[in-house]
Amino acid sequence: MNLIILGPSGSGKGTQARLLCDKLKLAYISMGDLLRAAAGTRKDIDEWINKKGELVPDEITFSVLKEHLEKNKVYDNLLFDGYPRSISQYNLLKSYLESKGVKLDMAIFLAISDEEAVRRLSARRIDQGTGKIYNLITEPPPQNIQLDNLIHRDDDKPEAIKRRLEWYEKETFPLIKLLGEQSVLIKVDGEKPIKMIFKTILERVGDKN
């Protein structure tokens, strides 16, 4: 079984993805992690991510994903987080997996309002020493960590968040609509508590199987 998890920044995709991978024994494919790792060795990707601060073009993003899958020789029982984000990316991934004799089975859409996304992302902080990400609302740091030592990134401030949400509405909403038309989309209220969201996803995934 291959799953996609979708939702705007701040919807809790990463949290639910890891819970699902543990429960369903799926390999976790984080496109963000793959691109950040690739930026350390590829100047073109580093240029897009760290200098231009823009989205990496589809063909480059797909090449990084394909290289990872080919290297690990894994094409099934995967959960994709952060990819695909558009219809063009979806078509690339769908065709590639079909060439390997597998398919994308379901897409999970965590729906939250723009206001909630801004609220959550504005509360995100990063530990300078460990790189661990906390959220002052949904996943606060332990009491022994000083808040003054946590970084509030520029791209987690309201104006930057709003720009990301505008891109998401333009590029990802059409993909969500397409997946709904293909009857592979599971829509879940992402503003509920984490455990309740996870329980709902498991129930819906079971219904689809």
Sequence-distant (≥ 6) Cβ neighbours of residue 135 within 8 angstroms: 120, 123, 124, 125
Give the β-pairing of 185-189 and 150-151: unpaired
Look at 1-5, 53-57, 74-78, 128-132 and tell me which has the smallest mean pLDDT.
53-57
- Which pLDDT does position 163 carry in this prediction? 77
If you average pLDDT over every residue of the chain, what do you get?
88
- What percent of the chain shows pLDDT beyond 70? 95
Are 167 and 174 contacting, i.e. CB atoms less than 8 angstroms apart? no
Domains of the chain: 3-112+172-208 (3.40.50.300)
- Which pLDDT does position 94 carry in this prediction? 95
**pLDDT range class, residue 50, cuts 50, 70, 90:** low
Backbone torsion region of residue 166, taken as left when φ is above 0, otherwise alpha when ψ lies between -120 and 50, otherwise beta: alpha
17 vs 105: CA distance, rounded Å: 15
- Which pLDDT does position 27 carry in this prediction? 96
**209 pLDDT exceeds 70?**
no
Q: At what angle do helices 31-39 and 58-72 cross, to 10 degrees?
A: 100
The pair of three-digit structure tokens given for residue 207, joined into one six-digit string: 């219904």
Chain segment 6-18, per-residue pLDDT in tens: 998 888 898 999 9
Chain segment 53-112, per-residue pLDDT in tens: 567 888 989 999 999 999 999 999 999 998 999 999 999 999 999 999 999 999 999 999
Helical segments of 49-188, H only: 58-72, 87-99, 114-122, 158-181
**Is pLDDT larger for residue 120 or for residue 200?**
200
**28 pLDDT exceeds 90?**
yes
